[in-house]
Structures are given as structure tokens and as C-alpha cells.
Structure 1
Amino acid sequence: MSYDLTVYCPGSPTVDEVRLLVGNTRGLHVDPDSARDTGVVVLRGMKRGYSFTVDGPFSVEPVDLPEEVVAVLPAAATMFQVLVEGTQEAEIPYGVRFARKLAKACHGVVMDEQTTDIWPQPRTVKAPPRTEPKPERRDVWISWLILEEDLPADFLQGYLRIAREVLPESVPVRFGKYEPLQFRFDSSGEEGFIDEFYNDDSNGWDIYYKNPPPVTYGKIEAPQLSAGNPFTRITLVVDGHALADSPLRSALRRFFLAVATELGAVYASAEVERHQDMGRVPIFNMRPPQWVGFQPYPLWWVWAGPRLAPDIGRFLGPSAKEHNGGLFRAFSDEPLDRDALTDVLGPENLPWIPAEYSATYTDHQMAPLAVASVIPEILRNREPLDLPPGIYNPPRKA
């Protein structure tokens, strides 16, 4: 574990300025063997033992600022993370002192991530709390699973093209591999987005992106062929309140089917988030990640691609529609969560798929107790590829 502090600055200090500040602090030294562009390892004392690490600088957008920081430093543009790692509890005071020194030098503030306390304490009286309640979040999670052997070589270009043509709100705005997201699509473009996806020495490719509502979050994860996991997974989160608008709902449905058919998804689904057990997903990290079974509750939308429809098509019912060789079932017009869908469908139509096709869970259990007893052949893990240690996938992009 580590003790974490975050320093927010209104300007853009550099890592060289951090090194200089460390060198000017009595008893602290920059580790010369760990020089890097995005951080400093700090040693302390005559023996120069490890004390803490400063990671950064990272650009930060106003939308990513915690409320506690916005209240005292709404103009924060850069952040550093001061981490006292491992079991070095005696070093925590030194990390705290340096974080405060860095904040003072950049006219910023420190947030203690363990307590959310801010230093220095604001001198102004906090505004009274909002009297009107915030509307309850109602996110719709959409996911597509694509087998490696079906994945088009230019699938990222295809995904972005479909987004531009069908659902412009889903075109990435900010993207990257870690928070805070470091790139903007309007300046980096499609090429920058694709380069960042493949920017990983181990070929363990992935990318995340954030947008303003109605499409708020996206994620694209490559398979782990070294572990026998053959699925590329695309995830999109949409503000469910916005889907009361029928034209947007229609556009999202066209986008869902276009991605499913043009990128060759074997399975896709859409569901309204319910926080109690959103972790019950078909792909679970059971060492290795693998298909564990279909969700054991009704979903808003289900797509079975041409290679899966012969196995589960009969369970989608007569209201399922054929689409480019696959089957699509909308369990309701407007997005409903599983409780509402259960009431609408009635016990005679549930479960939507036989229990043996779903993993076994207990109440409030995220991880399955057991995988499904029936897994269609097309969804089973493959034989792991024999790749060098630390390499997940063979090169896909030069």
C-alpha cells in the first residue's frame, strides 16, 4: 500500500523544477538512477534510503477536479502525485512536507487522498450545500465482444468512422491510458488515438476516453492471446436520462447495430446500471480472463452475431429481429433496469436464457462461484499463444 497526496497547481511546473525543489530541500536527494520525464524518486538522509516518489506533471481538465479542489482552486491545470510507497510509514511526514512545499512553490493546494483534506485550508467560508437534490445517475452500459479472428485489421478506424457518421456524440473528446487523460481528439486526431491504443511495449493494448453527456465514457481493450482470451471488448457508457429523447435513442440503436455488424461482434449487450452487481459481466478475470456465462438477468438489448445465433437465437424469443445474419432483441423501448424489465416480462418469460448458460452467483457476490455449465463453443477460451514473457499479443500495428 502507499500513502498518496495530490498537488494541484494553476500553472504548468516541469519535472525539472520538481528536481530542483528536491535538491533545495535539506536532507532530500533525487535518485540519479531513476531519472525520467514524468516523475522523481526521492531519497533521504546520509544513507540515501527511499523516501517517496513524485509522479507528474499531468495535465488536468476542470471536469476532473475533485469538488474539494474546485472550491479553493478552480483554475488548477496541472497535478503531481506524491506517493510514499510500500511500508515506509516513517517517511509519510517527509512526503507530506514536500507536497506542501511543492504546492506553495506553484501557488497550489495539496489533497490528502486518504482523508480528502485540503492544505492550505481555505480562508473563505464554504458555500452552503445545494438544497435541490441531484438527479440519480442512470447510466446505460453498452459492450461489444469481438473475436480476434473476426476483428478487421482497421477496426479502430472503422469504429471512429461509424461514430462520426451515426452517433457524433460518441466520437472521443479526451483520451489516454490513465487518469487524468492526457490527449484531446480535436488536436491529436484519429492517428493520435490509434497510436495511443497501440502505445504499449508489451502489446497489452487498451485506451479510455471521456466525453460530456450524453456519451460520457468509452473503453477499448484488446484480447490477451497469451492467456487464451480471444475477445476485443468495446465499452460505451451513455447517460440514460438523455435517452428519454427518442431521436437520440434511435441513433444509439443504429450505432449499436452498426458496430456489432461492421466490426463483427459475436455478442453485444446494453443494460441500465444497477450498482449492486454491475460486476456480473460475461468476461471475468478468473485467471485467465474468460467467458463465464451470460448475464443471469434481463438486459435492455442483446445481440447474437451470426456465429452465436445458432446457439442462443432460440432463447431471444419471437420478438428478436434478424439483422445482417445476427439476431437483435430489444426487451423494452426505453432503457429499463433489470428490476423493471423483470416486472414487464413477467416470471413466465424469465430467465431470458436458461440458467445453465449463466454463471452461479450468491447475493452481493461480484465474482462467480462457478462458470456456466453450458458455454457455446465459439465463446470458449482458446489455447494460449506461446509468446515471450510479458508479451500479451503479437504485433498488430507496425
Structure 2
Amino acid sequence: MSYDLTVYCPGSPTLDQVLLLVGNTRGLHADPSVSKDDGVVILRGMKRGYSFTVDGKFSVEAEDLPEEITAVLPEATTMFRVLVEGTQEAEIPHGVRFARKLAKACHGVVLDEQTAEIWPQPRTVKAPARTEPKPERRDVWIKWLILEEDLPTDFLQGYLRIAREVLPEGVPVRFGKYEPLQFRFDSSGEEGFIDEFYNDDSNGWDIYYKNPPPVRYGNIEAPQLSAGNPFTRITLVVDGHALADSALRSALRRFFLAVATELGAVYASAEVERYQDMGRVPIFNMRPPQWVGFQPYPLWWVWAGPRLALDIGRFLGPSAEEHNGGLFRAFSDEPLDRDALTDVVGPENLPWIPAEYSATYTDGQMAPLAVASVIPEILRNREPLDLPPGIYNPPRKP
């Protein structure tokens, strides 16, 4: 737990300049025992106890700026994070004061991540009346699960190739392991993308990326074989409003099926997310991460790979289509949320899969109360691998 402040600067101050600012602030000292290339730990007082941490600098591009910052400092190009970590609540005012001092020195602003307040307060400008209401956000979340034993060694190359051929908007624009995303695909290319995915000493590989509209963003996460979880997970989020275009919808469907069949997904789905209860997902970190059950409500699309189709294919109904031995069911033509799909499918055909295959939930709770009583063998965790502490997976040759 930490109290987080972000300082945005229009120029490019260096860490050495931050250290100089620390040295010129009464009572503050940089911890000489902590060497960080991208930050510094700050001590305070005669006893030199921990006060806060300054992380950065981080380059940030205009497209990554929060709306609050774009409105007051659209020329921001650099950011620092000031973090009061742990339970040091008495140090929060000192972190806030230093963040403001840093912002003043670089002619920037501070964003309090807890309250979304900006310092210094911008001048109030009367906004023009909005002529049309802003449409409610409507995202389609697409997810593929691939078992480690089925994963092609070149699955990242395959994923990018399919995107280039079928859905160019699926090719990343920016990527990295944390926000703001530090790499551009047009300069780093496929090789840089793959190198960044595998850039993890713990072998807990992952990568996050942003895409051109109407695709919003995505991520790829490795399994945790040390805990017995065998799934590589690929997620892509698409603006649902744009899918009113039948040509785009058709391209997305081809992409969904190409990734599922060519990369060997055991299960995949597409769902119009309702943000009040997004936590109901098939894989949940119940220590260890594990399959907890199919969603208990109908989804826009469902894919069952050849081995899973043997178990649940009979539940997908006569309208399911066969593709390379797997089964694909579209519950509607255009993307609909679970309430609309319930009306389309009809109460006599619900639940779409027997209740014992789904986890049990209660309103307002992300974690399931209980996992499904029936879990297909292909979706169960494997025996955990005996790996050194802090290592999630054995080495994998990219």
C-alpha cells in the first residue's frame, strides 16, 4: 500500500537534478545505500528514517497523458512518481511537499492519484455546453487461453503475423511492462516486442500494449508452472461501438478464430463487459491462479478447442460451427451484453452451460464464493513444478 503522486514536467529534468533538489530541502537526504537507476529513496530527519521514494524519470507521450493532465499541461513529456510506501502515513505531507517542489522547479504539475486533484489548481475555464451526451463506454473483452503443452514456440511471432494479415489494428503501437509504455512498435519492431516479453528474471513473462482505434489495448501473460497453472493468456480490448460496422466485425471474427486455431487455444471468449462486475472471469488468482468455472451467463462468442469440445461441445447447441476440430458459438451477430443476450437466448435455454460447470458468485464480490463443482480435466491445474524460490517457469527458448 502506498500514497502515490505523479509529477508531470514539460521538459526533461534528470535524476541528478532531483537529487540536487533533495539536497537543497531541509531535513531530506538521499539514501546512499540504495542504488537505483530510475529513482531514489528519500530519508528524513536526524535519524534519517524512510520518508518516501522518487521513481523516474519516465518519458511520456501525449497519447498516454491522463485527461486531467492534457487539460492543463498538454506539453508534458516527462513524469516522476513520488511514493510514500508502507504504513508511513505521517510522511505523506513530506512527500506531497516535495512533489510540489519538484513540479514548481520543472514548471509542471502534480496529480494526486488518490483524489485526482491537480496542483497547482488550474484556472477555472467555463466549458462550452456539450451538444451531445458522451456515449457510455462499451468495451468488448476478447480472451484466449493456451495450454503450455500446446503453445507454439513462436506463438508471439504467430500472433503478430495473424494481426498483420487479418486485423491490422491488432498490431501494437506502444508496448512495455508498465505505464507509461516505454517502447514504440514502429521503431522496436517484432524483435523488440518479443525481447520485452521475455525480459523477466523470474520467468513470469508478460507484456502490455496499446493499439490503434478501434482496438484499445491488450496484454499477454505467461503461465505460472511453479503453482501448477498451465495457461498463457492473451487479452484484447475493442471499442464495442465501432463493431456496429459489419466489415470490422467480420475481420475481428476471423482474427478471433485464427488466433484460436493456429495458436491452439483450449478456450476463448468475447464478452461485452459491464464494469460494475468485471471480476467474473474463468481464471482467478485464488492462490494459486486456477480455472474457477465458466461464466454463468451467455457471452457474445465462445470457442472450445478440440479437446475441450469433447467435454462441453454438447452445450454449445446446434448453431455451433466446427473449425479445425474445435467449436465456435456466436450467441448474437452484433456484440450484446449479458442482459440483452439473456433475452436473445431465452430463459428456456439458460444457463448456456450447466450450473455445476460455473463458479458461485455473490453481488459486489470479485472472487467466487466457490469454484465450479465440475471442472473439465483439460482445464485443471497441473502438478506444480519444483523451481527455485521466486521463479515462475522454467526457461523457455523464445
Q: Shorter-normalised TM-score: what interval?
A: over 0.9
Note the C-alpha offset of 1:181: 1.1
With 87-96 and 101-110 compared, the bigger mean Cα shift is at: 87-96
Paired with 1:103 and 1:72, the residues of 2 have a C-alpha distance of: 13
Deviations 1:11-63 (A, max 9, x none): 12222221122122222111111121111111122222111110111122223
Where structure 1 has 5 or more consecutive residues not aligned to the other structure, the ranges are: none
Deviation of 1:94 after TM superposition, in Å, equals 1.9
More moved, 140-149 vs 52-61: 52-61
Equivalent residue, structure 1, for 2:27: 27
1:326 aligns with 2:330: no
Q: SS at the partner of 1:90?
A: helix
* Partner SS for 1:309: helix
2: CA distance, partners of 1:158 / 1:313: 27
Say what the alpha-carbon RMSD is for the aligned residues: 1.4
**Which shifted more, 65-74 or 101-110?**
65-74
Q: Report the CA distance between 1:278 and its aligned residue.
A: 1.9
Q: Residues 364 and 57 of structure 1: is their aligned pair in 2 closer, same or farther, counting only changes over 3 Å? A: same
Contact 2:357 2:372 in 1 (8 A): yes
- The change in CA–CA distance for 1:58 and 1:139 in structure 2 (over 3 A counts) is same
Deviation at 1:131, TM superposition (A): 4.7
Structure 1, 267-276 or 214-223: larger mean CA deviation: 267-276
- What is the Cα deviation at residue 124 of structure 1? 5.5
Distance 2:193 2:355 in 1: 40
- The alignment's TM-score, normalised by the length of structure 2, stands at 0.97
State whether residues 291 and 379 of structure 2, in contact with CA within 8 Å, keep that contact through their aligned partners in structure 1: yes
Structure 1 segment 105-254 matched on structure 2, within 5 A = 105-123=105-123, 125-128=125-128, 130-254=130-254
In 2 relative to 1, CA 216–199 (structure 1 residues): closer, same or farther, beyond 3 Å? same
Structure 1 residues 344, 123: closer, same or farther in 2, change over 3 A?
closer
What's the secondary structure of 2:102's corresponding residue?
helix
Equivalent residues of 1:31, 1:40 under 8 A apart: yes
Contact in 1 for aligned 2:225/2:392 (Cα 8 Å): yes
Which shifted more, 376-385 or 113-122?
A: 113-122
- Render the CA deviation track for 1:352-378: whole Å, top value 9, x for unaligned: 111111111123332111111111111
Contact residue 138 and residue 240 of structure 1 kept, 8 A:
yes
Q: Give the C-alpha shift of residue 286 in structure 1.
A: 1.0
TM-score (norm 1): 0.97
Contact persistence 1:198–1:397 (CA under 8 A): no
- 295-304 vs 365-374, which moves further: 365-374
Sequence identity, in percent? 91
Residue 349 of structure 1 deviates from its aligned partner by 1.3
Residues 122-131 or 43-52, more deviating: 122-131
Higher mean displacement: 124-133 or 255-264:
124-133
Confirm or deny: 8 A CA contact 2:361 2:367 kept in the other structure.
Answer: yes
In structure 1, C-alpha distance between the alignment counterparts of 2:319 and 2:115, rounded to whole Å: 52
Matched residue of 1:251: which SS? helix
The residue number in structure 1 matching 2:255 is: 255
The answer on whether the counterparts of 1:156 and 1:194 sit within 8 Å (CA) in structure 2 is yes
Alpha-carbon distance in structure 1 between the residues aligned to 2:127 and 2:65: 17
State the shift of 1:267 in Å. Answer: 0.5
Distance change in 2, residues 1:130/1:14 (3 Å): farther
Q: CA deviation at 1:86?
A: 1.9
Distance of 1:129 and 1:175 partners within structure 2: 36
Asked whether the equivalents of residues 332 and 341 of structure 1 are also in contact (C-alpha less than 8 Å), the reply is: yes
Matches of 1:366 and 1:95, distance apart in 2:
33
Inter-CA distance 123–370: structure 2 relative to 1 (3 Å threshold): closer
Alignment check: 8 A CA contact 2:147 2:266 kept: yes
**Distance across 1 between alignment mates of 2:214 and 2:18:** 39
Structure 2 unmatched runs, 5+: none
* Aligned mates of 1:123, 1:137 — CA distance in 2: 29
Post-superposition shift, 1:121?
2.1
Determine the C-alpha separation between the residues in 1 that align with 2:290 and 2:174.
Answer: 30
Q: Deviations over 1:257-297 (max 9, x none)?
A: 00001000000010111123221111111111111111100
Give the CA deviation at 1:5.
1.4
> Is the deviation greater in 382-391 or in 34-43?
34-43
Deviation at 1:225, TM superposition (A): 0.1
